[in-house]
Amino acid sequence: MRSSGSGAGPPRPPNLPILFATFVCLAGCTVLGPDYDEPDVTWLAAWQPDLYGQLDVDGSAAGEDLAAWWQRFDDPVLTRLVDEVRAVNPSLIQAGLRVLEARARLSGARALRLPQQQQLRSSAAYLRQRRSDGLLPASDDSFGSYDASLVAGWEIDFWGRFERGVQSADAAFFASVARQRDLQVLLVAQTVDLYYALRTTELRIVIARRNAGIQQRSFEITTRLFESGQQSELDLQQARTQYLATLATIPDLQRSRTQIRNALAVLLARPPAPLAELVGETPELPAVDPVAISDVPAALILRRPDVRAAAWQAGSQSAQIGVAAAELYPAISLLGSFGWSGDSLSVTRDGTTFAAGPSLRWNIFDYGRIRANIRVQDARLQQALVAFDAAVLTAAREVDDAAVAVIRTAEAGVILRESRQAAERALDLANRRYQEGYADFQRVLDAQRALFAQAEKELVNEGAHLAALVDLFRSLGGGWQTQAMEDMVPEPVRRQMQERSDWGGLLDAAVPADLGAAATRGKRQ
């Protein structure tokens, strides 16, 4: 037998608390999968669209002007309509509910960091029987037993599977907030666009009726002259044709007005019907000052809500690679149970049991299924990155297209204004020469037709210029504002949900104002 040496004692058992603490520390430091950083758009830093003098490079314009850009039109009716759309639009409420759903998913993902299994079991039994062996009197026996146990299990997040799940849910929550803000941008722009499209159509009806009135008087004059034998039937029929042709444009304009009005009513969550706010005299279209932008378009593009949503969606998908990769390694859990049992017999004692220990689960033979899933998640990440690049490209195109439309419609407006003024002068001269007998009536009809056409073109171009301005502000990502959860989801809806389910504090929790750069890192949050 080998000697243990002088003074040597038996081996000491390991210190279990120290081993457990070391194990937990290691579990907190191991996170599989790639860390996500928002990709750089290399071309965007050097990209500078030609905004044709619309860019305020010294930054003198207030940043908040972009958030409430429709106020530059100085139209109280429009402002009230925009505020109402932001408060009651069903699509916007649905987007707020999706934010609430994403927050609930995030809460569930965070809960997986804690012991995942807790189970309380209890049972009781009562037995009564009547015995008789034929010799002794019959007797009744009864017996009762009962037991209860608590079982708990905690899978240690040794490979960061739950941590990556939290990161994915967190990024998905930020993406849902960004999508809600993007919907604000789209709905505000659509509201302003429909409002001025409706005003433009109403003014076109006014112009058509005014020109029809002028042409009606000309038709009445030629009728009297023809009946008195002083005018030919040709002049009469030409005047009648032009008058009726102008009248024929009004029903189509009225149809367009009704359709635009109904579309605006739906945005306001109202049934199709005349809007009380728009009843009355139709005001002229506003003259808008040149646009001043307080930041370079490249920076504004990266802050667009749809671009932010694409970036956060990629971040959420990146974390899913780590979730899938953790399945390659064993899942290590701590299990424990405590039980108590007893019965009604005095010959036995009530007993308690306690058990605790580690558990290991490992999918060793998965036949490539786990690695295939990792590849699936990686392919989805690459799709999300390509979608992010596409979102930036689309945003840049929209900014450039809108800027070109703004300046070109402004240039066309100057020309059309002069053309309409020339047409007015030509009509005045044609009427005078006709009355003096130096020109025939055809010149008057031609001048009337030219004035009607030029006035119509000028008004349509003014509407197109306003639409281009709306599109420019939309393309720059303007029109969204930070909303609390009570603003995203109206009080009646939240009250109904709270009555149906216990939402805790999620219905009133704060919503982040700054979404920042999308990045998920292997760190505890």
Q: What is the pLDDT along the chain (525 residues), one digit of tens a residue?
A: 333 444 444 444 445 455 455 555 554 558 888 999 888 888 887 777 665 455 454 444 444 568 899 998 999 999 999 999 999 999 999 999 999 999 999 888 887 777 666 666 655 555 555 555 555 555 556 666 667 777 777 778 888 888 999 999 999 999 999 999 999 999 999 999 999 999 999 999 999 998 899 888 888 888 888 888 777 788 888 888 888 998 999 999 999 999 999 999 999 999 999 998 888 888 889 988 776 665 667 778 889 999 999 999 999 999 999 999 998 888 887 777 777 776 666 656 667 877 777 777 788 888 889 999 999 999 999 999 999 999 999 999 998 899 889 889 999 999 999 999 999 999 899 888 888 878 788 888 888 889 999 999 999 999 999 999 999 999 989 899 988 888 899 889 988 998 898 888 888 888 888 887 766 544 434
130: in domain: no
Place of tokens 């689309």: 394
d(CA 304, CA 315): 17
d(CA 196, CA 252): 18
3-state secondary structure 171-210: HHHHHHHHHHHHHHHHHHHHHHHHHHHHHHHHHHHHHHHH
Tell me what pLDDT residue 242 has. Answer: 86
* Contact by Cβ (8 Å): 184, 86: yes
Region class of 175: left (phi > 0), else alpha (psi between -120 and 50), else beta: alpha
159: in domain: no
Q: Which domain holds residue 422?
A: 36-112+181-331+369-520
Q: What is the pLDDT of residues 150-162, one digit of tens each?
A: 777 777 888 888 8
3-state secondary structure 210-271: HHHHHHHHHHHHHHHHHHCCCCCHHHHHHHHHHHHHHHHHHHHHHHHHHHHHHHHHHHCCCC
128: in domain: no
Q: What is the CA radius of gyration of the chain?
A: 39
Total domains, the chain? 1
Output the domain CATH number for residue 220: 1.20.1600.10
Q: How many Cβ atoms are within 10 Å of 63's Cβ, its own excluded?
A: 10
440: in domain: yes
236: in domain: yes
464: in domain: yes
353: in domain: no
Angle, helices 161-227 vs 90-111, to 10°: value is: 180
Tell me what pLDDT residue 299 has. Answer: 79
Half-sphere exposure of 444 (CA within 13 A, CB side): 25
Tell me what pLDDT residue 522 has. Answer: 41
57: in domain: yes
* Contact by Cβ (8 Å): 371, 321: no
Tell me what pLDDT residue 186 has. Answer: 96
Average pLDDT of the chain is 82
Greatest alpha-carbon span in the chain: 149
Tell me what pLDDT residue 222 has. Answer: 83
Tell me what pLDDT residue 176 has. Answer: 95
d(CA 447, CA 453): 10
Stated pTM of the model: 0.81
Place of tokens 């209860």: 148
